[in-house]
Structure 1
Amino acid sequence: MHTQQKHTGVQSFNFAARLLHWLMAVLILAMLFIGVGMMSSLSLRPWLIDLHRPLGIAILLLAILRLGNRLLSTTPPLPASVPYWQAMAAQVSHLLLYLLMLCLPLLGWATLSAGNWPVTMFAGWNLPPIAPVSSALYAWFRAAHGLFAWVLFLLVLGHLCAALIHAWIYRDGVFSSITRKARGK
Structure 2
Amino acid sequence: MSHQRVKFSKLQRVLHWVMAIGILAMLFIGVGMMSTIDRAYLVLVGIHKQLGIAILVLALLRLIVRWRSGAPSLPASMSEPMKLAARLSHVAFYALMIAMPLLGWSMLSAADYPVTLAGMRLPSIVPPSAELHSILWSAHRFLAFCLFALFLLHFAAALLHAWVRRDGVFETMTFGRRGGR
What TM-score do you get using the length of structure 1 for normalisation?
Answer: 0.91
Q: Is the 8 A contact 1:12 1:181 kept in 2?
A: no
Equivalent residue, structure 2, for 1:102:
98
Partner amino acid for 2:47?
L
Any stretches of 5+ residues in structure 1 without a counterpart?
1-6
Any stretches of 5+ residues in structure 2 without a counterpart?
none
The structural deviation recorded for 1:102 is 0.2
Residue identity (%): 49
Partner amino acid for 2:43?
W
Distance 1:159 1:74 in 2: 19
Change (3 A) 1:114 1:99: same
Q: Is the 8 A contact 2:106 2:125 kept in 1?
A: yes
Corresponding residue to 1:160 among 155, 166, 170 = 155
Instruction: Please list every run of at least 4 consecutive aligned residues from structure 1 whose deviation after the TM superposition is greater than 6 angstroms.
Output: none
Partner amino acid for 1:51?
I
Equivalent residue, structure 2, for 1:115:
111
Distance 2:95 2:102 in 1: 11
What TM-score do you get using the length of structure 2 for normalisation?
Answer: 0.93
Corresponding residue to 2:12 among 7, 17, 22 = 17
**1:128-163 C-alpha deviation (Å, 9 max, x unpaired):** 100011111111111100000100000000000000
Corresponding residue to 2:80 among 73, 84, 87 = 84
Corresponding residue to 1:169 among 158, 164, 172 = 164
**1:43-66 C-alpha deviation (Å, 9 max, x unpaired):** 221110010001000000000000
**Could you say what the CA RMSD is over the residues aligned between the two structures, in angstroms?**
1.6
**1:49-86 C-alpha deviation (Å, 9 max, x unpaired):** 01000100000000000000000013111111111111
Equivalent residue, structure 2, for 1:4:
none
Q: Which has the higher contact order (CA 8 A, sep 6+)?
A: 1
